[in-house]
């Protein structure tokens, strides 16, 4: 069943930052939406590249050697194995694309680790 997914409507369905929600699946990946605010945790994904498309706001992804600043209408792909730290000074709305196996905290398991649910 193919449905049309409206990003703004979906973002209105949740508030909590750093809790990605699943809004689509294709092949072996999920499309997720997340609100980000503040600083996350340094982590990497052993086996999964991860796409961050900024829908609203400005996201900084710190890498060990530099920062990526991603504005609305821009995306970046963090390759597997690359340590990164997302930082959102103000709330950011982001579309994520990543394999179904991806944990939000990657190699780290702590109180920030959450399982994404469908909305």
Q: Which residues bind its own copies (CB under 8 A)?
A: 2-8, 24-29, 31, 48-51, 53, 55, 61, 63, 68-71, 73-79, 82, 95, 97, 99
Q: Which of 6, 99, 86, 119 is nearest to 45 (CA)?
A: 99
Contact (CB, 8 A) for 41 and 108? yes
Contact (CB, 8 A) for 43 and 107? yes
Residue 109 C-beta: closest distance to its own copies, Å: 22
Q: Which of 48, 81, 87 is nearest to 69 (CA)?
A: 87
Residue 96 C-beta: closest distance to its own copies, Å: 11
User: Looking at beta carbons only, is 6 or 15 nearer to its own copies?
Assistant: 6
User: Looking at beta carbons only, is 27 or 110 nearer to its own copies?
Assistant: 27
User: Looking at beta carbons only, is 4 or 110 nearer to its own copies?
Assistant: 4
Residue 97 CA to residue 45 CA, distance in Å, equals: 13
Residue 111 C-beta: closest distance to its own copies, Å: 27
User: Looking at beta carbons only, is 16 or 28 nearer to its own copies?
Assistant: 28
Cα dihedral 9, 99, 75, 58 sign: positive
Residue 16 C-beta: closest distance to its own copies, Å: 22
């Amino acid at each position: 069943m193919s449905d049309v997914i409206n990003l703004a409507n979906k973002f209105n369905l949740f508030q909590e930052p750093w809790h990605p929600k699943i809004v689509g699946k294709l092949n072996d990946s999920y499309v997720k939406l997340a609100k980000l605010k503040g600083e996350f945790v340094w982590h990497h994904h052993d086996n999964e590249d991860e796409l961050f498309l900024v829908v609203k706001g400005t996201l900084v992804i710190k890498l060990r050697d530099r920062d990526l600043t991603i504005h609305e209408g821009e995306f970046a792909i963090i390759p597997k194995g690359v340590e990164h730290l997302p930082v959102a000074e103000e709330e950011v709305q982001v579309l994520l694309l990543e394999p179904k196996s991806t944990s939000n905290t990657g190699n780290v398991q702590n109180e920030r680790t959450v399982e994404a649910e469908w909305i």
